[in-house]
């Protein structure tokens, strides 16, 4: 966010997000009618189309055939796919990604737009035009979380999966830092 990496480094991050959100949203489509997961799936949250539009702006034509996931991204995607068999785990990842996007992501988008001189495509991932009142949306989401009928063990398992989601995200950012040669990265 401070301009330490160039646009190609930013595009690499957007690319990794695309792999992650494609997996998350594919599992969401599988679980749309699930009693637990279905309550959280909302089309207004979908980021895949926005990430593709951003990459169309940031990369040369034909980019879909040239991009590849980092190893940490591959591990994250595999974990997301595993959540198709455990809806509360899917909700843990869904919560971690989307509520983070609706919280700090909105402010991050403004900074990224300024740093890289972008105004529309390139930073559309950070915009939620279909959610005019993010706080109201987030409050409703949290109310649905609070009313999930999970026993104590399943609640604890879900909390642990949120921590796993954070760790997987951190691992991706560590590898991104290494890939773009950020100082202090091994």
Q: Does 182 or 150 have the greater pLDDT score?
A: 150
Domain count, the chain: 1
Please indicate, yes or no, if residue 128 is contained in any of the structural domains: yes
Please indicate, yes or no, if residue 34 is contained in any of the structural domains: yes
Please indicate, yes or no, if residue 185 is contained in any of the structural domains: no
The overall average pLDDT reported for the chain is 94
Query: CATH number of the domain that 26 lies in?
Result: 1.20.910.10
Average pLDDT over residues 66-70: 97
pLDDT at 4: 78
pLDDT at 143: 96
pLDDT of 98 strictly over 60: yes
pLDDT at 36: 96
pLDDT of 83 strictly over 70: yes
pLDDT at 15: 98
pLDDT of 147 strictly over 60: yes
pLDDT at 105: 85
Give the model's confidence band at 167: pLDDT under 50 very low, under 70 low, under 90 confident, else very high. Answer: very high
Please indicate, yes or no, if residue 106 is contained in any of the structural domains: yes
Q: Cα(17)–Cα(125) distance, rounded to whole angstroms?
A: 10
Could you give the C-alpha distances from 70 to 43, 48, 56, in angstroms and in order? 27, 18, 20
pLDDT of 2 strictly over 80: no
* Domain encompassing residue 40: 7-179
Q: Cα(76)–Cα(80) distance, rounded to whole angstroms?
A: 6
Please indicate, yes or no, if residue 184 is contained in any of the structural domains: no
- Alpha-carbon dihedral sign for residues 159, 160, 164, 167: positive
């Amino acid at each position: 966010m401070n301009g330490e990496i160039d646009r190609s480094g930013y595009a690499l991050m957007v690319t990794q997000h695309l792999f992650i959100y494609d997996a998350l949203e594919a599992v969401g489509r599988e679980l749309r009618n699930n009693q637990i997961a279905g309550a959280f799936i909302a089309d207004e949250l979908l980021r895949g189309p926005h990430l593709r539009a951003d990459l169309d702006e940031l990369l040369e034509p034909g980019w879909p055939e040239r991009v590849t996931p980092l190893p940490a991204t591959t591990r994250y995607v595999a974990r997301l796919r595993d959540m198709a068999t455990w809806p509360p785990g899917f909700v843990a990842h869904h919560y971690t990604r989307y509520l983070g996007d609706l919280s700090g992501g909105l402010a991050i988008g403004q900074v990224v737009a300024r740093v890289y001189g972008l105004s529309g495509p390139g930073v559309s991932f950070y915009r939620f035009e279909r959610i005019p009142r993010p706080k109201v949306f987030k409050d409703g989401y949290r109310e649905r979380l609070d009313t999930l009928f999970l026993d104590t063990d399943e609640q604890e398992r879900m909390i642990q999966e949120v921590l796993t989601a954070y760790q997987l995200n951190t691992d991706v950012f560590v590898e991104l830092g290494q890939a773009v040669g950020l100082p202090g990265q091994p």
